[in-house]
Amino acid sequence: MSNQRYKKTFYLLGRIGRASDKELRAELCYQASSGRCESLAILSDMELIEVNNHLQRLAAEVDGADDMKLKRQQRKFFSICYDLRWTLPGGKLDYTTIFGWVNKYGYLHKDFNEYTAKELPELITQIETIQRKEYAKSKN
């Protein structure tokens, strides 16, 4: 068989961060084949589709967890901005100021919404440093 048959399977394994996990592959094959085999090469086409469907569900869960993590980090960032009083007279956040700061001083110099869940912690650290300095300044 050609490697094209397994391309989607390995792509999905990579999305869940388990591309080289032979034990997981063997377990998935074992379940899909009702205990008949532990290898992708021996699976029938229908069994391989079943494995891929299972992996797609797992990948969707991982993607959902990443989205939740991203939203949590974004809320933390905006909370710090609120603490720094980057607000409009009505008490709402001044997004023009915030997004301008992110573009100009953010470590990647890109729009806030383009930061990924892996990149945001560094930006949060950057703004926490400003928060600490403001706090120290207010103590003096």
pTM recorded for the entire structure: 0.62
When pLDDT is averaged across residues 46-75 and rounded to a whole number, the result is 91
Q: SS3 of 93, please?
A: strand
Lowest mean pLDDT among 76-80, 91-95, 118-122, 135-139: 135-139
**How far is C-alpha 103 from the geometric centre of its chain's CA atoms?**
21
Query: Mean of the pLDDT values across residues 73-99?
Result: 96
pLDDT class of 1 with cuts at 50, 70, 90: very low
Is 21 a residue whose pLDDT tops 60? yes
pLDDT in the model for residue 2: 58
Residue 101 has pLDDT above 60, yes or no: yes
Cα torsion through 31, 35, 37, 41, rounded to 10? -30
**What is the chain's percent helix, strand, coil content, to nearest 5?**
70, 0, 25
